[in-house]
Structure 1
Amino acid sequence: MSVPETRDSGQELPLPWDDTAQELYEHAPCGYLTTLPDGTVVNVNETFLSWTGYGRADLVGRKRLRDLLGVGSLIYYETHVAPLLRMQGEVREIALDVRCATGRRMPTLVNATLNYDADGAERVIRVTVFDATERRRYEAELLQARRTAEESERRVRVLQQVVADLAAVPTASGVARAVVAAAGPAFGAADGGLWVVDGDRKQLVLAAAAAHAGFRDVALSAAGAAATVVRRGEPVVLAGAAKLRTELPEWAPALLRQGRQGALLVPLTAHEAVLGVLVCTFTEAHAVSDSELQLARLLGQQAGQALDRARLYDEVRLREERAVFLGEVSRDLDGVTGLAERARLLAEMVVRGVAAYAQVRLAGEAEVLAEAGEPAATGTDIELPLTVRGAVAATLTLRPHGGLPVPDPAFLAELADRAAPALENARLYEREREVARTLQRSLLAGEPPGDLRFTVEACYRPAGGGLEVGGDWHDAFLITPDRLAVVVGDVVGRGLHAASTMGQLRSAVRALAAAEAGPARLVEQLDRFVDRVETARMATVAYAEIALDTGTMTYCCAGHPPPLLLPAHADPETLWEGRSAPLGSRAGRRSRAEATVRLVTGDRVLLYTDGLVERRDRHLDEGLDRLAAMFATRRRSPMKGLTARIADAMLMGGEPPDDDVCLLCVSLGTEPRLERTIPADPYRIKAVRTDLKGWLEFRGVDEDSADALLLALSEAVANAIEHGYRDCADGTVTVTATQLGDEVILRVADKGTWREPRPDDPARGRGLFLIGKLTDQMEINTDGGTTVTMRRQVAGG
């Protein structure tokens, strides 16, 4: 049949069926929608309705385009598509999920055009919708194929990387860590651990673990999966927490507590023997594929060969390391001087080198001198006698790592021969240093004068290391019954010359103070003394005299750090007046300056040497500011032990300072609140009684009340020592005394155990009966120890 030639004439070709514009619209191969600018559907074709299952009445005038979109597509439409449509007038091939009447999500590609009227106002939006279901499926298949290829390539890379890592680490421990680190990249494991078969092939010994301290060694006689892997030499897959619980050995609870849902156990093989097991665990159900099993076998073979090679290397290296270790023991022990330091260093070195735990005891001593490592570590203890000149000086006990070879006897004998003389020399050094310390203390001032009008507390901390004594010193003495002198000085240098010079200066100060010429005149006379004692040149001195009847303090600082005043009710104040050059300085004038400050009851003055505030790593101002702040926080602290607490806080950690440190604090009046803590020793009760007696006298308590309170205190402290600590070798008792109006409150507290008086022993309980008669009220609290509170009305005060 010939076709009419109508194309050139512009006429339409006749069709054998009716194909109206409406038919084309309704049954087009895509969905059509027409919406108002706000998205309300005003027209929709039959194709879209058949795809989605909606009726025309369900959509036209009732739904907006946004109402037909899934949640994710709706957000994308509102934030991207709609704004873009209004800016450009059209959008093309936008991927949106349309929500069908049944709730199914249909993937689509959407084109939309915004039409305007003659005035340029938005009129309608025409939307075409293409079903992208098959396209989405095809894309998903392509994506899955790509992921499979990428996963295969990734596993090949992982295996290559593992092989490279294993080749780079020569030691067995390095091989173990490299294999455990590969568990995540190779199989997507959350973590894992590696166990190696011990030399006797009786158990699996933990070699490396990614995260779990709960992993332990595994007996090969167990019926678990790990032992099965060793016997069969094939990987084992465990799926589900219940399966883990029945198949994994005793460390399974550590896994299950962290939500493990599966495990893959891989044997490490070499020369047809299983050398170890790699355990990979998963937090979610994990189906191990055939390709992963193949990778597991290859990984196990490569790791097993690397482990076998590393063990040979470790044997050679161990011999070399132990030879080096013995040399380091001799060298490093010679690098420290103290007995405790050498013992601690020896224990630490043994733990780092050959053992899981080590301790050192002196011969004949029950107390452990030093220890290191984990006392609960498994293993067999080995005791090495450390012998010097035929006598045992100490004992070194070491506990090798469980499952690892015990050090050979020749090595242990060599270790003992090197450690013994080092400890014995340190013991001799300690004895000589104590002699030097005794000399230092003998040259320092004795006990400060006892007087209820003031309290003096001092502290001396020698520089760490060495046998040399220092030149820091302090002193406090009464020039007259109403005039107190306090002084802190620092002689240049260390050693016997400095200590001797310090003693001469202290004696000179006491002799010159008797002339009552004042601080400035005294320091001027010290200058003349220094002219005859060359070793005293450039010494520094802070000297003060306090008139106890008026509270006036006159002071002079010769090159010394300034005194620190802590008023009873104000901020600390650094006393920068009255300053001049160090003793014997020939620069400038020879006359000395002095300054005066008025003190009241409760004020505290701190004198100190530069070792307390000077550090190489900070400016002097920082040290002075820190001291002032620390002094202020202890405004209400008891004077007893105050300077020692300040020294400890300033020296941070209690380590011996680089320079000698000397502090002296004086306070006018007695303490508003008495507080003392003593060891649980009956011989220490006297010191507390003496302090309480002075405190009560200063507060004007009548003699009868004071005697009653002192006796009650003695009984309460004695009870705490005898009964509270009856089953304890050591302990402390804390005593506090306060006064509220005309009532004195005493508290005696211990941390021991309470013991009820026994009716069958009439001698027991008499102390409490006596305390009850001596005081107006007695309360006993036995929570967390025992606290006895005693109250008594007093006359005077």
Structure 2
Amino acid sequence: MTGPASNESRAWSTAPLGLLHLDADGYVLRANDTFVGWVAGQDAGTGVAGRRIGDLLTVGGRIYWDTHVAPALTLAGQVEAVRVEVRTAAGPLPALLTARTRPRDGAIDVALLAVRRRAEFEQELVRARSAAERSTERLRWVQHATAALSHAAGPEQVRAALLAAVAAHPGVAAVRLQTAGGLQAGDPTGGRHPGPDGRLSVPVAGAAGTHGDLVVQVRGRPAEATVDVDALATIAQQGGVALDRALLHERSMSVAHELQHAMLTIDLPHREDVTVSAGYRPADSGMEVGGDWYDAFWVAPAVLALVVGDVVGHGLLAATAMGQLRTATRALAGPGLGPGRVLDRVDGFVVDRETGFGSTLVYAELDTGSGVLAYACAGHLPPLHVTDAGAEFLWEGRSTPLGVHHRRVGPPRRQGRVRLAAGDTVLLYTDGVVERRDVPLTDGLAGLARTAGRPAAGAALTTQVLDAGPNRRDDACVLAVTWSGTAGT
């Protein structure tokens, strides 16, 4: 005979989730067939009734029942979707536990929904999240190293940046760059995995060979972050490229410095009627060779040529253009031409040879017999005339930088003249003496005039001017000529 009661009982027994009826102390009074099947597997005779629910859960679930679920049932009368694991014949079964206390007698109804697939999915999510976090940390580590290496200039700075970037990883206890002895330098297969001593090594390889091995001591404790060897190899490879670049740059700078030094350390003319002195101050950074240069030579027995120029740019190309302009100026100057025509000739050289475009140049000729100084400025700062009464800038004879307005399409370059008194000095200089980003040019020129007006002569004057210059980020040079007014021989 069947009826509503028997149907309800059958539905309770065959429900697709485990159902338990417990007494107030948590002992099983009744369990449906689904739960019994979980616990007993094929052995349907295994008893569940009379057992405490904690004994049917794993150790963690038992502890959680006693410390959280049971107190919550006492205080609130119910709990919902608590994750536990049921002890089954096939192993722990993840389940969501929902329970409610009956107000009448304190008995507890429990429903357990098996979530094995959900647990697997959650574990996959956890693994995927962990992998994404590791990938993010790996990428952040590599990006940090790339940024540090890109800002490093010389080889020593690159090595320091490489070691600092690797040491920033929390799993790295120590790191060094080994170039000889011990490990085989440049071996791409050895040391890629930590040995018993917790060390691993990767080669820092450049285009032409290895710069050594990056030897890393990993911490290795379970709580420490692990070092990704592939990321470490990427950083080491970038370090090799950065070292290649730094060494190439260093060699280029060495050649440029030597070229510039050869052009600046010339034997300046010396005679009793004129005193010529020069000074050069490189930029504080020392990593880029500037285009500042000077020269002085006799155009005629009584005519002294004075030249100061500034080539656009830095480095080996600027040094090469500087040498070409210096040589061209000497070759193109001649008696009777005057500064304006000499600059026209140099302008033609710049246009024809396509070198030194936009460079500035001041060229002056001093007639030592009369004390007349003729000068022309191609985009350059004005000469400074220093007398006993003070200092005055010579603003005449100005025209555009070299190559900008060639004489073939424009008028000849203008020139200025000034007559010197015995003991007067004229200063030619580059922008590094007076220019600074945070100071107006007028203030820099005024400062130069004040400095040059102090009692000093010859090399002492050029040193005084360079030491007082506001700009230490750019090269600077000064050429000074003092006319004594006496007849030369």
Question: Post-superposition shift, 1:487?
Answer: 0.3
CA distance in 2, matches of 1:452, 1:504: 28
Conserved? CA contact 1:342–1:422, under 8 Å: no
Match of 2:415 in 1: 593
Conserved? CA contact 1:554–1:595, under 8 Å: yes
CA distance in 2, matches of 1:501, 1:558: 16
Relative to 1, partners in 2 of residues 1:397 and 1:481: Cα closer, same or farther, differing over 3 Å? farther
Task: Give the residue type in structure 1 aligned to 2:211.
Answer: A
Match of 2:113 in 1: none
Alignment partner for residue 146 of structure 2, among 310, 314, 330? 330
Secondary structure at the residue paired with 2:395? coil
Conserved? CA contact 2:278–2:459, under 8 Å: yes
Alignment partner for residue 505 of structure 1, among 322, 325, 328? 325
CA distance in 2, matches of 1:599, 1:354: 73
Conserved? CA contact 1:579–1:593, under 8 Å: yes
After superposition, the C-alpha distances for 1:180-207 in whole angstroms (9 at most, x for unaligned) are xxxxxxxxxxxxxxxxxxxxxxxxxxxx
Relative to 1, partners in 2 of residues 1:442 and 1:465: Cα closer, same or farther, differing over 3 Å? closer
CA distance in 2, matches of 1:346, 1:427: 13
CA distance in 2, matches of 1:353, 1:437: 39
Match of 1:457 in 2: 278
Match of 2:252 in 1: 433
Match of 2:478 in 1: 664
Q: How many percent of aligned residue pairs carry the same amino acid?
A: 29
Conserved? CA contact 1:492–1:536, under 8 Å: yes
Alignment partner for residue 394 of structure 2, among 575, 580, 596? 575
Match of 2:376 in 1: 556
Conserved? CA contact 1:383–1:395, under 8 Å: no
Conserved? CA contact 1:330–1:418, under 8 Å: no
CA distance in 2, matches of 1:435, 1:600: 43
Give aligned pairs, total: 333
- Answer with 617-626 or 551-560: which moved more: 617-626
CA distance in 2, matches of 1:642, 1:546: 19
Question: Post-superposition shift, 1:360?
Answer: 7.2
Question: Post-superposition shift, 1:418?
Answer: 4.5
CA distance in 1, matches of 2:427, 2:359: 19
Conserved? CA contact 1:542–1:560, under 8 Å: yes
CA distance in 2, matches of 1:631, 1:355: 60
Question: Post-superposition shift, 1:456?
Answer: 1.9
Task: Give the residue type in structure 2 aligned to 1:608.
Answer: Y
Equivalence map 1:212-291=2 (5 Å): none
Alignment partner for residue 620 of structure 1, among 441, 448, 451? 441
Secondary structure at the residue paired with 2:268? coil
CA distance in 2, matches of 1:645, 1:351: 46
CA distance in 1, matches of 2:346, 2:165: 53
Task: Give the residue type in structure 2 aligned to 1:560.
Answer: H
Equivalence map 1:88-107=2 (5 Å): none
Match of 1:388 in 2: 205
Secondary structure at the residue paired with 2:270? coil
Conserved? CA contact 2:452–2:461, under 8 Å: no
Which ranges in structure 2 are unaligned for 5 or more consecutive residues? 1-131, 181-198, 485-489
Relative to 1, partners in 2 of residues 1:606 and 1:421: Cα closer, same or farther, differing over 3 Å? same
Secondary structure at the residue paired with 1:560? coil
Secondary structure at the residue paired with 1:553? strand
Conserved? CA contact 2:277–2:481, under 8 Å: yes
Task: Give the residue type in structure 2 aligned to 1:590.
Answer: P
After superposition, the C-alpha distances for 1:229-275 in whole angstroms (9 at most, x for unaligned) are xxxxxxxxxxxxxxxxxxxxxxxxxxxxxxxxxxxxxxxxxxxxxxx
Task: Give the residue type in structure 2 aligned to 1:666.
Answer: A
After superposition, the C-alpha distances for 1:386-409 in whole angstroms (9 at most, x for unaligned) are 6437976357799999x9987756
Task: Give the residue type in structure 1 aligned to 2:333.
Answer: A
Question: Post-superposition shift, 1:477?
Answer: 1.7
Secondary structure at the residue paired with 1:509? helix
Task: Give the residue type in structure 1 aligned to 2:417.
Answer: A
Conserved? CA contact 2:385–2:425, under 8 Å: yes
Conserved? CA contact 2:204–2:211, under 8 Å: yes
After superposition, the C-alpha distances for 1:355-385 in whole angstroms (9 at most, x for unaligned) are 9999977857xxxxxxxxxxxxxxxxx9978
Task: Give the residue type in structure 2 aligned to 1:327.
Answer: Q
Question: Post-superposition shift, 1:413?
Answer: 5.1
CA distance in 2, matches of 1:642, 1:438: 21
Alignment partner for residue 608 of structure 1, among 400, 425, 429? 429
Question: Post-superposition shift, 1:623?
Answer: 3.5
After superposition, the C-alpha distances for 1:95-130 in whole angstroms (9 at most, x for unaligned) are xxxxxxxxxxxxxxxxxxxxxxxxxxxxxxxxxxxx
Secondary structure at the residue paired with 1:650? coil
Q: Do structure 1's residue 545 and structure 2's residue 359 form an aligned pair? A: no
Alignment partner for residue 339 of structure 1, among 143, 146, 155? 155
After superposition, the C-alpha distances for 1:192-223 in whole angstroms (9 at most, x for unaligned) are xxxxxxxxxxxxxxxxxxxxxxxxxxxxxxxx
Relative to 1, partners in 2 of residues 1:345 and 1:612: Cα closer, same or farther, differing over 3 Å? farther
Task: Give the residue type in structure 2 aligned to 1:609.
Answer: T
Secondary structure at the residue paired with 1:592? coil
Task: Give the residue type in structure 2 aligned to 1:575.
Answer: L
Q: Do structure 1's residue 639 and structure 2's residue 459 form an aligned pair? A: yes
CA distance in 1, matches of 2:163, 2:456: 43
Conserved? CA contact 1:544–1:554, under 8 Å: yes
Question: Post-superposition shift, 1:625?
Answer: 3.2
The answer to which structure, 1 or 2, has the higher relative contact order (CA under 8 A, 6+ apart) is 2
CA distance in 2, matches of 1:362, 1:608: 48
Conserved? CA contact 1:388–1:424, under 8 Å: no
CA distance in 2, matches of 1:553, 1:358: 67
Conserved? CA contact 1:326–1:414, under 8 Å: no
Conserved? CA contact 1:491–1:538, under 8 Å: yes
Conserved? CA contact 1:457–1:641, under 8 Å: no
Conserved? CA contact 2:295–2:306, under 8 Å: yes
CA distance in 2, matches of 1:612, 1:526: 24
